[in-house]
Amino acid sequence: MSLPVAVLVSGSGSNLQSIIDHIEAGHIDARITAVISNKADAYGLTRARKHDIPALALPHDAYPDRVAFDAALLAAVRDSGAEAVVLAGFMRILGSDFVAAYRDRIINIHPALLPSFPGLHGQGDAAAYGVTISGATVHFVDEKMDNGPIIIQAAVPALPDDDAGSLGARILAFEHRIYPQALAWLAAGRLTIDGRKTRLAPADVPPADLAAAGPCLVNPPLERGF
Ligand code: GRF
């Protein structure tokens, strides 16, 4: 049975779009029960509606405090029937009650190679620091920001003249590949958490040729279709 997932967004939702496209292509055994945003004008909501996915705005500033917003968010996710939660550019920290309700079933994508450059400005911080490699990380969510066990990372070159925009664009192209892959693994029940590590059960299909990923390191290797 397809894994019912809720996707939380705050902005453009290009990662949401990539996930929708891979679900529609039959690469991920999941269905999106709802796309929920804390911003009423998030383009991610429009993307959802274009695919007949229930889209809901829950503006955080309409709630008296963080706890009240978190409770409303949790209720909306539960009401949708979701059994897992995908954070796709969701710019709010989830409260401990939410994390506890969906423990080990919430995933997030971060635009840097964690544990380097956590926080809101991963791309700009990495570019300003002068690293020569950066990338993206998909990880399970726990109570601490950008902290849970890592599922997959993709590395891309960072160039001396990069800024947040140019490095971020290079990273985003790989976000769109590794996030659907991570969700496919979660939906297939192939991920188990072992302390700080995520273990990936082997697939029936052989992994795609790593060279096809270009001059980048993606580990574990991408499988066919991603
Ligand atoms: C991505 O860079 C993601 O890593 C970060 O927020 C951005 C969301 O982009 N968490 P989009 O809304 O998916 O286009």
Question: Which pLDDT does position 117 carry in this prediction?
Answer: 98
Query: Residue 89 in contact with residue 110, Cβ under 8 Å?
Result: no
Which residue is listed with tokens 């620091």? 129
Could you give the CA distance from residue 90 to residue 99 in angstroms, rounded to a whole number? Answer: 14
- Written as one letter, the residue type at 194 is D
pLDDT at 127 > cutoff 60: yes
CA of 111 to the centre of ligand 1 (A): 7
Which residue is listed with tokens 């955080």? 60
Indicate whether residue 137 lines ligand 1 (CB < 6 A): no
Q: Which of 175, 178, 179, 183 to mutate to test the pocket of ligand 1 (most atoms within 8 A of CB)?
A: 175
Tokens of 12: 């453009």
Indicate whether residue 154 lines ligand 1 (CB < 6 A): no
Instruction: Judge whether 60 counts as a catalytic residue.
Output: no
Residue nearest to ligand 1 atom 10, measured at CA: 89
- Checking 146-150 for CB contacts under 8 A at 24+ apart, the result is 146/108, 146/110, 146/114, 146/115, 146/118, 146/119, 147/114, 147/115, 147/118, 148/108, 149/193, 149/195, 149/196, 149/197, 149/198, 150/114, 150/197, 150/198
Indicate whether residue 220 lines ligand 1 (CB < 6 A): no
Could you report the per-residue pLDDT of 161-185, keeping only the tens digit for each?
Answer: 999 999 999 999 999 999 999 999 9
Which among 22, 110, 139, 176 is annotated as catalytic?
110
Q: What's the whole-number average pLDDT of the chain?
A: 94
pLDDT at 210 > cutoff 60: no
pLDDT at 88 > cutoff 90: yes
pLDDT at 138 > cutoff 70: yes
Read off the pTM: 0.93
